[in-house]
Structure formats: C-alpha cells, structure tokens
Structure 1
Amino acid sequence: MIFEKPDVLYFLLLLIIPILVHLFQLRKFKTTKFSNVALLERIKLQSRKSSTIKKWLILATRLLGLIFLILAFAKPVIPSSDNALQKDETIIYLDNSFSMELPAKQLTLLEEAKQNLWGQLNQNQRFSLLTNDKVWKNVTKNDIKADFFSIDFAPVHFSFENLLLKAESMFEDQMSSHSLIIITDGLNFEDKVRLKPESGTDINLIVKSPSSLENFSIASAQLQTTNTSKTLLAEIRSYNVSNKDVTVSLMDNEELIAKTKANFEESTSTVIKFDVSNRDFKKGILEIEPDVMSYDNKLFFSLREEKKINIIAINSYGQKSFLTSIYNTEKFNFQEFSLGKFDYSKISDADLFILNEIDDINPILLSRIEEFQDNGGTLIIIPNKNTTPATFKGLVNNSNIYQSSTSEQREITSINFDHPLFKNVFSEQIQNFDYPSTQMFLEINSSFSPILKYSNGQSFLAEKDNIYSFSSALNTDLSNFTNSPLVVPVFYNIALESNVRPELYSIIGEENKIDIKTNLKKDEILKLVNESQQVIPQQTKLGNVVQINTQYQPKSTGHFQLKQKDSVLLDLSFNYGRIESDFNPMDLSTLEAKTFLSIPEAFNSFTEKRKILELWIWMLIFAIGFFLTELLILRFLK
C-alpha cells in the first residue's frame, strides 16, 4: 500500500492528546452517608466499573475514527505494478502503409483499426499519435477529431528500428513511464526485428491479420526495342500461386489502346506484351481489374518520340571511315570531317564526338572538347600510330590517358560482359570467340574501367567519365578490329549510351537523375507540372545541361510535364514502389515485445497494468463508522 500524501500521516502524532486526556482525567467523588452502608458500597463499585469500560470503548472508537480519517486524507492506494503511479507518456503508432488496405472482417485493416482505436481512447486521455507520414504530439481525442478519420494510406513505411528511434525522440519527460503501442498488419518489416529498446520503453504490439492475402499487381514495365519494333513488356504478379486470368488494359490518357489477358497458370508471375511501334505515349497507363489493394492496379509511363542522336567524327586523312557504315541508320545523324576543315562550334551540337586517329589537339580544340565534356557529352578517342602519352593530356583531370607505347602483336581475348555496352548483345558468355588483334598498342591509364582486354590483362577499350578510349589505331594496317563482330555493337551502343532517354517511369522516393540540354538564365528554374499541382525538383546546372533529381519531388503518382517557363521539355511519369505488394509476414515467435491480436485486448491489458486501487473512500467509511459507534456508546451504554 502506498500513500499519495504521506505527509498527512504526521497528524497521527496528535492522537496522543485524547489518550493523555483519558489517562489523566480525574474525578472527585463526594461521600454521602447512608444507613445501609453495605448496599451503597456495592452500588458505588458497580458504577465505577461501568464508567471505566465505557470510557475505554469511547477512547478506542474515537482513536480508530481519527486514525481512519487521517488515513483517508493521506490517500492510500494499491498499484497493480511498479510503474502504475508514474506519469505515463503514451505514443500510438498507427501503420497506414499500403498493405493496410487489405480486408479485415468488413472494412479495410486501416479503417477497422481507426474505429477500434477511437473507441478505446478516453475523452481526456493525453497521448501522441504517429503514422508513416504525420505526427500529433500530446493531444486528446477532441484535438485530432477532424484529422483522425481522414488518415489515408501513405507510400512510406517505417522500419521497426526507425520507429523506435522516432518514438524515443518524441518522449518529453525522461523520468516518466514510456509506452509505445504499435498497431500494424506485421507485413513487410525486416526479418530480424529488434523490439527491446535500451531505454526500457514498454512496447505493446497489436498485429491485425487480414482475412485474405490475395492481391494482383502491375509489378514493373520496360521497353524492348529492335531496329524495326518497340514492345512494351509488363510483369503482372500475384502474391499467391494463382490460375486466374487478369485483364490488363493499355491506355493513352483516357483512350483505350489495347486489352489482353494475363494468364498465371499456377504461378505467381507472368509477363504480357504490347506492340507500341507506331505510337508515342505521353500519358501511358497500364491498368488491371480492381482488387483489394488499389495503389498497384495502375502503372503510369511515358514513351516519347525518339530524337536522332547527333554524332560528329573528325579524322586527319580527309576520307570517310568505317564509322559511316555503322551509323548509317535513322537513329543517328552522323557527320564526319577532316580536322583541317572542321568548324569547332559544331561540337556543342553533338551527343557523341569521335577523335578518329587525329595527329594532335590544338589548344582551341582542347578547350571546346573540355566544354563539351562539362555539358555531359560523350567522347571516343581512337589514337594513331604517332600518338604519345602527352597527346590527350588535359582531357581527364589534367592526367595522361596513355602511359606508354608497345609495338608487338596482341590478341584481344577478354570481354567485360557485365558492361552496359554488351547488354542484350550476347545470349551467353562466349569462350571460343574469334578475337581480333592489334600490331601496336598504348597502355591506358589504370583509372579507366576495362571493357575489352588483351591476353596480358591490359585494356584495349576502357571508359571513364563518358570518355571511351581505345589503346590502338583501328585502321587495317595496325588492327583487324573493324572486321570483328565486336565493332558494330561497341560503337552502336556507345552512341545509344551517349543520349540516354529517361526511363518509362520513375519510382517516388528513389534517386533518379535526368540530364536535360537547355539554356537556363540566372534565376530560371525547371518545374514539374500536372493538372493538380506544380513542384520544383532538385536541379543542378552543368553548362548547358540541367540535371534534375526526382528523389524528393513529386510525392504523388501520375503524369508530369517538365517545363521551362511555358515550354515543355519532357513528359515524365511517376509511380509508387511495389514493395508493399510482396507480403512478408513477420515471425511473431521471435519478438520480445508483448503481442496482441486486437486493440481492445491490448488496451485492457494496458489499463490493468496501470490500474490503481484507491482505498481512501474505505478509510472514510470506517472513520464515519467508528464516530457513529462512539455516539451510540455515549447514547445507549450506561
């Protein structure tokens, strides 16, 4: 038993006063003589005995009444736990991730959780409420009534570690008792969950189980291109193995373009194809039939008209090279000049600039190439037989691209199959390839990443910072590389890489950098605009190239136009990541926290643990009882 006001107990010392009064109270008796002395003595003795008993009973009831009255004012209580009397700070985490849209008994998990939680909260109870995207600190029900039932699904998701760190930062009084109530579906958290903070926070985990985990989603989409066609591939996933058919629609804005069926055939994933060769999709949409989770039923994408890639090559011998035949397609705008007749101002218009066996680089050309590199251009260097290590100095942080020259035959025997240049080029890693060779070579700076290597491990072709450098001249007198099957995919894919198109779509919250060639004035910025909002993405100006990063803006899905004032530079699309569609229930048996299956069960346990039995009213009843007993003794006991 604990007293809320123990100082009141000092009043018990005052009980000595009625005791002293009783013990030292003296009465003088006056003697009267009667004839029958024996009778009077017997009456006198009986009167004294009755008076003494009555006085002791009055003293006892009076003392007991005063004792219980003082105890009542001291407020005795019996706490159900050690923390019951401490000031309690309670934080409630309500998981509103996309997976909380799964069905409960009648409503979604989130809607059911909101209704149950609201019913368990006391009217004057103070608490802090935390969701994945909002925070309410030290509030009551009335404070958040307008906002509570408008809590909607959020694309972000706390890990348990970040949730604990967030909760710890919200507690204000370190001397109070800290409680964290977690309401979640327990899906898509990390495998190893640490739910025992060092600070001693009391954690109550309420896991709401969905009535069904069936869900279909558009997991991803990609564009597959050939010289003659473009195919849109979409992966449709099911959490459970399914044999259902799901209808998938392809739309351009509100116009239905095509429909097809996704057949799972007792699998969890299937890929469907749409031929999009003859159409651009500025506001493309892939959509499946509505099911329990709505956020993954649509995928927004943008498919723009391909612009020709501008390629400029200069050489010293004034005639057309092997490059003409490689770049003689509709994808490229290829121009080749001799060094003596070249207008240096053309470099700024190129996406890919090729130095094909030129003798020397004069300072003006070097300056224009450096400017071209600063603006994000791609450079190919093919040395000639007279190239020295100092020839191209200054193009890579003022260091030499080449180290030394060797005149001997070497075979090119190693391919870096993982390099983007060879993506989708080889169906398998070929070992018995008819490799080309060179008669002389220059050693490439080791800071370059090898793409093709000689038998001794040195690089024949290497890349660094959008500079592709060959170690040997490619004319037929010194090398047979131009007769090799490798020459076309190497030069062709370098050109494609020099003008990388934005992806079909970007994932909200993930880093995605896009380079845009445009001239921005000093105070000008690029904006992302759609029908409902206008946001400013993170952007960096690099010469006449602006690099935007969409990691932090926008925050909602849909189609956006990247605008410079009123001019549209790009059409971009944004989608939420699909991690919430891959359900991963956590193992509750490994948790150290107290787990509950319902909110009422958790709150009842939470209340019982902090329950306090107040005894003051019983003390007051006993005090009144003893005072009444005293009155009865005084009235009726003779």
Structure 2
Amino acid sequence: MQFKHPEFLYFLFLLAIPILVHLFQLRRFQKEYFTNVRFLKELSMQTRKSSKIKKWLLLCTRLLLLTLLILAFAQPYFKAKDDNNKANEMVILLDNSFSMQAKGSKGELLKRAVQDILENTPENQQFSLITNTNAYWDTDIKSIQKDLQNINYSDVPFRPDFLLTKAQAKNPNTGKDIVIITDAINLDSKNISKFNTGTPVYAIVSEAENTNNVAIDSVYISQTMDNFYEIKVDMQAYGKIENDVPIALYNGKSLTAKTIVKFDTNKKSSTFTIPKKDFHGYVTVTDNSLTYDNTYYFSISKPQKSNVTAIGDIAKNNFLSRIYTDDDFNFTPAELRSLDYNSLEKQDAIIINELKDIPQSLITTLKSFYAKGGNIILIPAADSSIQNLNALLANFGSSQFKSVNTNERQITKIAFSHPLYATVFEKKTDNFQYPKATVGFTLSGSALPILSYDDQTPFLASQSNKLGNIYVFSAPINKINSNFQNSPLIVPTFYNMAQNSGKTGVSAITIGENQSLLLDAVLSKDEVLAVKNETSDFIPMQQVLNNKVKLSFGDYPEEAGNFAIYKKDENLKNISFNHARTESNLALQNKALVDKFTAADSVATVYNDIKSERTANELWKWFIIGTLIFLLLELFIQKFVK
C-alpha cells in the first residue's frame, strides 16, 4: 500500500491523546467503608468492573477511529496493474485500403471505424493516427475531425509494421499504446513481426457481412477487323455469385453497349465490338460489394503505322514484306552496306536478319535504341560467330549463345501466357503442326522462353526493360534451315514483335507499378508534359530522348480515371489509369494473426480497458467508511454499555 500524502501520517502521534485521557479516567478511587452495607459493597464492585470494560472499549474505538481518519487524509492506494505504461502515447493504425469499402453490419467498414473514433475518443485525449497514406501526429479529436471524415480509400496495402516504424521514428523514446483497426485482408505474419510483446497492442478487426465480389481484371483487343475492334473484358468472381451481373461499356459519358454476365465459373469474359477509332472510356459492372474494382478505365488511340526496318539480304527479307504490309506498317528492308544509321532512331522495330557479322557501331546503336523503347528482333545466321552474337546480347541481359546443334529439332512448346501471344489463342492447344529447325544454337540465360524445342531449350526468347523488347531466335528461319516460315505461328509472332504498344492497343496503366510510357514528342528546354482530366492534374517524371519523351508515373494519379497527356494546351495522347486489384478477394482475411494482441470490439473498449488497468485502487473511501462505523460504535457503547 502506498500514500499520496504520507505527511499526514505524522498525525498518528495524536493517538497519545485518548490514551492519556483514558489513563486519567482510570485513576485509583479511595475506599470508604460503611457499616452493615454488605450487599451494596458487592454491587459497587460489579459496577466498577463494568465501567472499566466500557472505558477500554471506548479507548480502542477512539484509537481506531482516529487512526482510520488520519489514514484517510493520507489517501492510501494500491499501485495499478499497468502503472509502468501510464506515460504511453496513444497511436492508432487505421487501415484505409480498398477492402475497407466492404459493408459490415453498420455500413462501410472504414466509415464505421472513423465514426467509432469520433464518438468514443475523449476530447482531452492526445493521440497520433496513421493511415496507409497519411499521418496525423500529436493531435486531438476536435482538431482531426474533418480530416477523419474526409479520409479516402487507398490502393496502398495496409502494413502495420511499416506504420509502427514511422511512429517509433517520430518519438523513439516514448512508450506507445497501439490500436490496430483493420479488416485483416491480405495481412501477413511479417507485417506484425516487429510488434514487441511488451508493448500494449489492441486489435479491432472489422468484418464484412458479404464476402462475395466481382472485379474487372483487364480489357484488351482480342481481334482487329477492317473497321472494328473486338475487345474482351476479363472478370474475376470471388465467392459465389448467384445473380446475373450487369456490365456496361461507356465511351466518355455515352453508353456504348450493355449486357449481363452469369458467373457459372469464377472467371468470365465478355466481348464487345466497337468502331475502329479513338476510344476513351471505361467498362463497369454492378455488384453489391466493393466498388473500386467495378470500373476499368481504358483508352484506344487511332492506330498508327509502326516503322520497321529489316537489316539483311534482300532475298531473305522477302517473307517479312508479306507480313509487314502497308496497311499497318512502314516496312523498310536494308542491307548492311547501305544502312542509314540516322534512320534507325525513328523506327519502332529493327530486325537483324541472319547477319554473319554485326559491326560494333550497329551494336552501340541497337543498345541506345533498346533503352529508348525500341523492339529488336535477332535472327542469327548459321555461320554467325558466337562471340559476335554474345557481344550484342551482353547489352541486354545475361542470355548467351552456346554450342551449335546440328540435329533436327521440333518446336513443340508455346508459352501461351507470354504477352506476345496473349490475344492470339482462344484456348491452349497441343494439336498443331510442329515447326522444326535443322541447325541452331543453344540459347541459355535469363531470357523468357516463348517457343521451345522438344528438349526444352528456347527456339525464341525475349527480354524486356519495360519500354523496349529484344526477341532472340536461336536458329536461322530461312526455308533451307527451317519450315517456320510456313507455320501458322509466323504471322502473329512477327506481327506482334514489331508492334509499338504506344501506337496501338489498349492504354491502361496500373497505378503504383511504376510503369513508363514512350511518347513521340519534341520539347523545348523548359517545356514539360502534364497529365490532366476534369478533376485533377499532375506532372509525371519525364526524360527527353531525342524525338521522344519517356514518362514515368510512379504512384500517380491518386484516383483512377481517364486522363490525357498535354503539351501546353495540345492533347498529345489519351491515357487511362486503374488501381491494382490486390484487395478484391475478401476471403483472404487472416484474423488469426492478431490473436496474440488484445481483442477489442470498439475504441471505447480500448480506452476503458486502459483506464481500468492504469487507475490506482483508491482506499481512502474505505477508511472514511471505517471511521464512520467506529464513530457509530462509540455512540452505541456510550448508550448501551453500562
């Protein structure tokens, strides 16, 4: 037991006063004898004995009464259970990821969490609140009220360990009470590994009533016709979707097409046909769950002809002229001796077609071309020098040509998921006419196989720097060495290898994946390109590369939507942004990970628990009650004890 005012204990010396009074009252009486009073003498002795007992009772009562009164003024108490953490600061880690859009019993999980904080945080309580994207330090509920009500959802995943590190860096020498408010979607054990078991941590886990959800994963051109595009919308269902889901296609604000989708399987696709011209809109589904993944924004620009140059013997380039027709390409065959190096910078794809020796000047040009987003297609000659080929490949990664293989090999494996064939095959098939090659090299390294031999070595592989691509054949494809030119694969393979993604196809960039875009534009010294729409704008990171500009978007924009790239007031290109679909599966709740923390159902429970654990057990009231009891006991003794 401890005392708030131990100085009052000095008053215990006052206990000597009733003792002295008692001793004074117990002084000896003088005996007086009377004649013939035997009976009265005996009665007197009994009365004196009772009086002595009464006085001793009164003394004890008064001593105890006075002792309890003095102790009450000293305010005794027992130390609180969690007294060591009494000086801790309150830190609230609030999950505002997109999965918190789900609806619980009292509405959207994030909005309900915000309302809980607003209603149950005491006005004089100082705290820090950290979300996935923002931090509010050493504030109070009145100061932060508007900010809380305006918190937006974020595509940044909830990382409580990262948020805790920020809090510790802010006040490293201060203990902390941590309150985690999350739905535990995509929570990983490493996200809570930094939490010290000695730190009080409370977990409020919000749960959605409906975990079924439909998300639009991607939109792409599945077929290009003379006057129309056929676009395909891939969707993913999480949980069991019993009702038909409406899906609508908008160009700008105008409804273009509408249909319904029945999810008899988890993955479904819907196809729309649109005119072959500029498209700047979105596709949307309607479900009773998350809303962030219900809309997919995309843009399709009017196709521009890609510039393709093939360097090699004119006779060997003839088959390429039948693929790269004037409708879609500006194709230029060129022999090495008459090559115009200045024209290479303007190309979208350069094909090195069976050159026996590749000069160093061309290797240097190709390296620069690749870095600026160009596509390179390398077809080796049967008599090419391995050292010369590897000198070229050394600029693009770790792939290398090794020994020559003169055994005939069949090409039996297709990487259907490779971007080159993403829109070529409707389904995987093993029933096709296998191409073959007689003489070829063995290709090894980090390049991604696209077509492979029956011995699992690559026939065609690719490497990318996110802007440009290099495609490497391991064998010559002339008709003497291979029948690949007669294969159905020849047209889609070369057609797609030469395409510039910036000039054709769907433009839909995922926010936060640090994707880049190469744009044909010439800027003066102080000019910059800006990305704008009706509600927001930002200036992306940009790098001028001769007659092109490389744009990098990082974590911008903050909101998904349709945008346009402007050079001053000139619209150079329409572009669209979407959030990654990482929060769409509401079944990925990992609630068990927070079981080691103190569970709470609301912020009010947290504050009440902290108060009860850190409030000292005050005893002075009990001592006052004891004082009153002994006071009543003294009155009782005075009145009833003879």
TM-score over 0.5 for the pair: yes
- In 1: Cα distance, 2:449 partner to 2:116 partner: 61
How far 1:589 sits from its partner (Å)? 6.6
Written as runs of structure 1 = structure 2, the 5 A alignment for 1:75-86 is 75-78=75-78, 82-83=81-82, 86=85
* 2:375 alignment partner in structure 1: 378
Q: How many residues align?
A: 629
* 2:323 alignment partner in structure 1: 326
Written as runs of structure 1 = structure 2, the 5 A alignment for 1:210-609 is 210-213=208-211, 215-228=213-226, 229-236=228-235, 239-258=238-257, 260-264=258-262, 270-282=268-280, 284-289=281-286, 291=288, 293-316=290-313, 321-358=318-355, 365=362, 367-384=364-381, 387-389=384-386, 391=388, 395-397=392-394, 410-413=408-411, 415=413, 417=415, 419-425=418-424, 427-428=427-428, 430=430, 433-438=433-438, 441=440, 451=450, 461-464=460-463, 466-470=469-473, 473-476=476-479, 479-496=482-499, 503-520=506-523, 524-540=527-543, 545-584=548-587, 586=589, 591-597=595-601, 607-609=611-613
Structure 1 residues 95 and 65, CA, compared in 2 at 3 Å: closer, same or farther?
Answer: same
Contact kept in structure 1, 2:94 and 2:129, CA below 8 Å: yes
The percent identity for this pair of structures is 31
- In 1: Cα distance, 2:379 partner to 2:29 partner: 142
Contact kept in structure 2, 1:300 and 1:574, CA below 8 Å: yes
SS in structure 2 of the partner of residue 482 of structure 1: helix
TM value normalised by structure 2: 0.78
Structure 1 residues 64 and 280, CA, compared in 2 at 3 Å: closer, same or farther?
Answer: same
Contact kept in structure 1, 2:76 and 2:619, CA below 8 Å: yes
SS in structure 2 of the partner of residue 552 of structure 1: coil
Structure 1 residues 70 and 549, CA, compared in 2 at 3 Å: closer, same or farther?
Answer: farther
Contact kept in structure 2, 1:188 and 1:580, CA below 8 Å: yes
Q: Does 1:155 align with 2:121?
A: no
- In 1: Cα distance, 2:459 partner to 2:136 partner: 62
How far 1:298 sits from its partner (Å)? 2.7
* 1:120 alignment partner in structure 2: 120
How far 1:347 sits from its partner (Å)? 1.2
How far 1:241 sits from its partner (Å)? 2.7
- In 1: Cα distance, 2:395 partner to 2:182 partner: 57
Deviations 1:596-631 (CA, angstroms, capped at 9, x unpaired): 555656655555445544222343465577689999
What amino acid maps onto 1:11 in structure 2? Y
Deviations 1:335-366 (CA, angstroms, capped at 9, x unpaired): 12344444332111111122334565556555
- In 2: Cα distance, 1:350 partner to 1:265 partner: 44
Structure 1 residues 366 and 450, CA, compared in 2 at 3 Å: closer, same or farther?
Answer: same
Q: Does 1:619 align with 2:616?
A: no
Deviations 1:261-309 (CA, angstroms, capped at 9, x unpaired): 3232655554322102433212x02233474544334322212122111
* 1:91 alignment partner in structure 2: 91
Contact kept in structure 1, 2:15 and 2:63, CA below 8 Å: no
Structure 1 residues 224 and 74, CA, compared in 2 at 3 Å: closer, same or farther?
Answer: farther
Written as runs of structure 1 = structure 2, the 5 A alignment for 1:42-53 is none
What amino acid maps onto 1:275 in structure 2? T
Structure 1 residues 353 and 112, CA, compared in 2 at 3 Å: closer, same or farther?
Answer: closer
For structure 1, the 5+ residue unaligned runs are none
* 1:199 alignment partner in structure 2: 197
How far 1:135 sits from its partner (Å)? 3.1
- In 1: Cα distance, 2:89 partner to 2:221 partner: 53
- In 2: Cα distance, 1:599 partner to 1:103 partner: 19
- In 1: Cα distance, 2:386 partner to 2:274 partner: 49
For structure 2, the 5+ residue unaligned runs are none
Deviations 1:375-406 (CA, angstroms, capped at 9, x unpaired): 23223344556643455675344799986886
How far 1:71 sits from its partner (Å)? 2.1
How far 1:69 sits from its partner (Å)? 3.8
- In 1: Cα distance, 2:577 partner to 2:543 partner: 20
Structure 1 residues 380 and 584, CA, compared in 2 at 3 Å: closer, same or farther?
Answer: closer
- In 2: Cα distance, 1:603 partner to 1:401 partner: 61
- In 2: Cα distance, 1:405 partner to 1:585 partner: 49
Contact kept in structure 1, 2:97 and 2:153, CA below 8 Å: yes
- In 1: Cα distance, 2:126 partner to 2:501 partner: 59
SS in structure 2 of the partner of residue 242 of structure 1: coil
Deviations 1:392-441 (CA, angstroms, capped at 9, x unpaired): 67534479998688695644545453554444556545487443334x55
- In 2: Cα distance, 1:573 partner to 1:14 partner: 86
- In 2: Cα distance, 1:535 partner to 1:120 partner: 38
Deviations 1:546-569 (CA, angstroms, capped at 9, x unpaired): 433333111112122223444433
SS in structure 2 of the partner of residue 307 of structure 1: coil
Structure 1 residues 301 and 472, CA, compared in 2 at 3 Å: closer, same or farther?
Answer: closer
Contact kept in structure 1, 2:22 and 2:59, CA below 8 Å: no
Contact kept in structure 2, 1:538 and 1:553, CA below 8 Å: no
- In 2: Cα distance, 1:630 partner to 1:354 partner: 113
Further displaced range: 537-546 or 339-348 = 537-546
SS in structure 1 of the partner of residue 498 of structure 2: helix
Deviations 1:460-499 (CA, angstroms, capped at 9, x unpaired): 5554564444455554455554344443343223212686
How far 1:99 sits from its partner (Å)? 3.8
Contact kept in structure 2, 1:8 and 1:74, CA below 8 Å: yes
SS in structure 1 of the partner of residue 531 of structure 2: strand
* 1:140 alignment partner in structure 2: 140
Structure 1 residues 236 and 77, CA, compared in 2 at 3 Å: closer, same or farther?
Answer: same
Contact kept in structure 1, 2:316 and 2:478, CA below 8 Å: no
How far 1:23 sits from its partner (Å)? 9.1
Deviations 1:151-209 (CA, angstroms, capped at 9, x unpaired): 444433414555665666677665x5x54334444555459996994332333333444
How far 1:334 sits from its partner (Å)? 0.5
How far 1:315 sits from its partner (Å)? 3.1
- In 2: Cα distance, 1:460 partner to 1:217 partner: 37
SS in structure 1 of the partner of residue 259 of structure 2: strand
- In 1: Cα distance, 2:357 partner to 2:545 partner: 28
RMSD over equivalenced CA pairs, Å:
4.8
What amino acid maps onto 2:232 in structure 1? L
SS in structure 2 of the partner of residue 568 of structure 1: strand
Structure 1 residues 373 and 28, CA, compared in 2 at 3 Å: closer, same or farther?
Answer: closer
Structure 1 residues 26 and 64, CA, compared in 2 at 3 Å: closer, same or farther?
Answer: closer
What amino acid maps onto 1:142 in structure 2? K
Structure 1 residues 196 and 560, CA, compared in 2 at 3 Å: closer, same or farther?
Answer: closer
Contact kept in structure 2, 1:390 and 1:402, CA below 8 Å: no
What amino acid maps onto 1:491 in structure 2? F
Structure 1 residues 609 and 38, CA, compared in 2 at 3 Å: closer, same or farther?
Answer: farther
SS in structure 1 of the partner of residue 68 of structure 2: helix
Deviations 1:206-263 (CA, angstroms, capped at 9, x unpaired): 34444544555444433313354422222455544334233322212122222x2323
